Structure 1
Amino acid sequence: MAGGKRNLRVTNGTARRSVRAWLRAQGRPCAICGQPIDYSLPPGHPLSFEVDEIVPVSLGGSPVDRANVQPAHRICNQRKGNRIGWRPDATGPRPLVPPRPTTDW
């Protein structure tokens, strides 16, 4: 690959398929928007199931660590991008974890 970077989702194919099957079997709703996922939709459909990494691979997260993956709609996962703790709502994105109070006042 260019630049010597490996796609960890592909190089860990068997482990990634195992994680994907494990998440699919749970049938949980989208971890980003909270709505149900239709697991029968074909890949590529905006509301189909995708594996979302909580800590994105681009930021050092593992694509095969079960503690770092959650189910998501394809469209939600695309909108989240490589951000950590992002959710859509009517007023725009908000962090999953409330900001820490500051003493700089």
Structure 2
Amino acid sequence: MSNKAGSGRYSNGAARRKCKARHIAAEGPIPICALCGKPIDLTLKTPHPLSCELDEIIPFSRGGSPVSFDNTQLAHRICNQRKGNKITTTGHQNTKQPQNTIPISRQW
């Protein structure tokens, strides 16, 4: 079992809570999940899949800062878990167009 005490994410708990509060204040009364685009209910607590979490745009495991305001965003817990340590493009994942599609025109 690994020791999480030495990792940067867990040793900066107060800084992450402060960054999360800053994101919530910037978003307004109903924050939006950066990954799915749906509203986040702030009354739900951590074990709930739709609770609010701080997601790193560039994951800590790939060299991103876990406490930088520019590298973090609000997301649902389940969305953040599905993302894992992948680097995604900005914007909502569910609105991404599939790549390698051929435009079809019916205008003869």
TM-score when scaled to structure 1?
0.74
Which residue pairs with 2:22 in the alignment?
22
Q: Deviations over 1:56-91 (max 9, x none)?
A: 00000001000000000000000000001166549x
User: Structure 1 CA distance, aligned partners of 2:94 and 2:32?
Assistant: 16
Pairwise CA RMSD? 2.8
In the TM superposition, what is the alpha-carbon distance from 1:13 to its structure 2 partner? 2.2
User: Structure 2 CA distance, aligned partners of 1:56 and 1:69?
Assistant: 9
Greater relative CO, 1 or 2 (CA 8 Å, sep 6+): 2
Count of aligned pairs: 93
Which consecutive unaligned segments of at least 5 residues does structure 1 have? 100-105
TM-score when scaled to structure 2?
0.73
Which residue pairs with 1:62 in the alignment?
65
User: Structure 1 CA distance, aligned partners of 2:94 and 2:17?
Assistant: 31
Identify the structure with the greater strand proportion.
1
Which consecutive unaligned segments of at least 5 residues does structure 2 have? 101-108
**Does the residue aligned with 2:80 lie in a helix, a strand or coil?**
helix
User: Structure 1 CA distance, aligned partners of 2:12 and 2:49?
Assistant: 25
Q: Is the 8 A contact 1:30 1:72 kept in 2?
A: yes
Which structure's CA Rg is the greater one? 2
Which residue pairs with 1:43 in the alignment?
46
In the TM superposition, what is the alpha-carbon distance from 1:2 to its structure 2 partner? 5.2
